[in-house]
């Protein structure tokens, strides 16, 4: 009997420690939900709530891993909070950010409290459970299959959510993903009699998207349209940079091949008559770029002309390619984004001296910075409009 008690006592201690971990975890999970709800009223609590959530996510993964090997871990108590924390923190609540972005914090906070209450109710239910072995092949097989099925879905959701949130944040909301498709936003800003329309563009989209923008451009009056498009007067680029091939692969249209771009370039080449809208090139020339930037553009052009797995690997694995050099990427980013933004702002300022309305149909990455500069000059936003550039449903194209 004494040997049996000695053999049984360590099991009781281990079980007690695990039970204490589970109860502490569930209590912390519920309290973190309460803190998240409080953060909706007091934003200063957002940081502590998020930090607590990530810590709980790590603990839940540890408890989940133990439950995969041991049937003694109550899965009905561990898996629901673990699933919620994975969805809320690892996957970012996907796809809530693409449906109701403003409501995401509230939905996640109240959902966490709801899950916590349900699990705590299960804890309070006093049911006599049958003794379970410390290890079971059946438990391992079932739990392993669930893990194999869920992990790829979680990583896919996390990747899509991160990409969408990054795109929207980096463009200041001028480009965003929604259930219906990829949306590009137009915003109008006014100061007195002066008006600036920032029209978000994308290199590849539906034909209808470009047609809608063409129809929205002013047809008469004292207005100027500032066009995007880097020129190459000295023929420094050995290869023509084009998105047309990639666009055709997805059944879309490239901006350069659209009717909008053709009409705009035609309008630039002919002198504008009195009272007609003026179209003006407002971009820089390739000659202003650093040599590494020119090489970067040529490499990227070659990749777009032949987008295969082999060409992709060659472009990024070649030690001489600027596509894989962080230092070169900083130079490229300054040339193709920052310097062009500054040049565009000077073009807008010059155009406003002679025109009341300036329309800027430029890439979404440029417009957030331009908007900030306009606001510092006293402009204020008067309206915004979303246009679907790419629809996810083929029937909606």
Task: Report residue 219: phi and psi, to 5°.
Answer: -100, -20
Confidence band for 4, pLDDT divided at 50, 70 and 90: very low
pLDDT > 60? residue 51: yes
| CA neighbor of 129 nearest in space, from 251, 230, 262, 19 | 19
Give the separation between CA 397 and CA 393, rounded to whole angstroms: 7
pTM of the model: 0.78
Average pLDDT value over all residues in the chain: 85
Give the separation between CA 330 and CA 155, rounded to whole angstroms: 29
Mean pLDDT (whole number) for 191-206: 94
pLDDT > 70? residue 130: no
The pLDDT value recorded for residue 10 is 38
Give the separation between CA 366 and CA 371, rounded to whole angstroms: 9
- Count the Cβ atoms, other than its own, within 10 Å of residue 359: 25
Tell me which of 5-19, 118-132, 143-157, 188-202 is least confident.
5-19
Mean pLDDT (whole number) for 52-63: 93
CB 32 within 8 A of CB 73: no
CB 390 within 8 A of CB 181: yes
Mean pLDDT (whole number) for 51-64: 93
Confidence band for 295, pLDDT divided at 50, 70 and 90: confident
Q: Which residues contact 379 (CB under 8 A, 6 or more apart)?
A: 189, 190, 191, 194, 196
Q: Which residue has the higher pLDDT, 198 or 302?
A: 198
Question: Where would I find the H helices in 135-188?
Answer: 137-170
- Here the tokens at position 325 are 């050099």
Mean pLDDT (whole number) for 295-313: 74
Q: Which residue has the higher pLDDT, 372 or 127?
A: 372
The pLDDT value recorded for residue 12 is 36
Q: Which residue has the higher pLDDT, 213 or 249?
A: 213
- Here the tokens at position 303 are 């990749």
Share of the chain above pLDDT 70, in %: 86
Mean pLDDT (whole number) for 174-189: 92
Q: Which residue has the higher pLDDT, 14 or 275?
A: 275
The pLDDT value recorded for residue 243 is 79
Confidence band for 131, pLDDT divided at 50, 70 and 90: low
pLDDT > 70? residue 15: no
* pLDDT tens string 200-236: 999 999 999 999 999 998 887 788 999 998 888 888 8
- Here the tokens at position 74 are 């109550």
Give the separation between CA 149 and CA 126, rounded to whole angstroms: 32
* pLDDT tens string 65-109: 988 988 888 888 899 999 999 999 999 999 998 888 888 999 999
pLDDT > 70? residue 5: no
The pLDDT value recorded for residue 320 is 67
Q: Which residue has the higher pLDDT, 364 or 120?
A: 364
The pLDDT value recorded for residue 6 is 39
| CA neighbor of 24 nearest in space, from 49, 68, 59, 48 | 59
Tell me which of 123-127, 257-261, 290-294 is least confident.
123-127
């Amino acid at each position: 009997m004494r040997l049996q008690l000695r053999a049984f006592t360590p099991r009781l201690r281990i079980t007690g420690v695990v039970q204490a971990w589970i109860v502490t975890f569930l209590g912390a999970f519920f309290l973190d939900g309460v803190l998240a709800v409080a953060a909706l009223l007091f934003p200063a609590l957002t940081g502590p709530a998020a930090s607590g959530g990530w810590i709980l996510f790590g603990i839940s993964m540890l408890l989940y891993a133990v439950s995969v090997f041991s049937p003694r871990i109550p899965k009905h108590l561990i898996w629901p909070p673990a699933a919620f924390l994975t969805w809320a923190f690892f996957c970012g609540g996907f796809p809530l950010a693409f449906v109701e972005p403003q409501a995401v914090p509230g939905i996640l906070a109240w959902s966490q409290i709801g899950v916590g209450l349900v699990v705590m109710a299960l804890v309070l239910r006093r049911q006599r459970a049958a003794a379970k072995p410390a290890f079971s092949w059946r438990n391992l097989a079932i739990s392993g299959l669930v893990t194999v099925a869920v992990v790829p879905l979680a990583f896919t959701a996390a990747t899509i959510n991160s990409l969408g949130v990054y795109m929207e944040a980096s463009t200041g909301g001028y480009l965003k993903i929604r259930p219906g498709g990829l949306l590009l936003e137009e915003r109008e800003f006014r100061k007195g009699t002066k008006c600036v329309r920032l029209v978000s563009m994308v290199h590849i989209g539906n034909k209808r998207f470009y047609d809608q923008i063409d129809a929205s451009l002013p047809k008469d009056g004292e207005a100027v349209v500032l066009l995007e498009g880097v020129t190459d007067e000295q023929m420094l680029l050995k290869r023509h940079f084009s998105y047309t091939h990639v666009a055709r692969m997805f059944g879309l249209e490239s901006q350069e091949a659209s009717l909008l771009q053709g009409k705009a370039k035609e309008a630039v080449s002919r002198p504008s008559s009195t009272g007609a809208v003026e179209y003006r090139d407002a971009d820089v020339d390739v000659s202003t770029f650093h040599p590494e930037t020119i090489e970067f553009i040529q490499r990227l052009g070659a990749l777009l002309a032949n987008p295969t797995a082999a060409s992709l690997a060659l472009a990024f694995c070649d030690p001489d390619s600027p596509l894989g050099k962080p230092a070169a990427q900083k130079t490229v980013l300054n040339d193709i984004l920052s310097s062009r933004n500054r040049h565009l702002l000077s073009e807008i300022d010059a155009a406003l001296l002679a025109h009341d309305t300036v329309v800027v149909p430029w890439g979404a990455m440029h417009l957030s910075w331009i908007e900030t500069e306009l606001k510092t000059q006293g402009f204020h936003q008067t309206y915004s409009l979303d246009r679907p550039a790419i629809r996810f449903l083929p029937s909606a194209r």
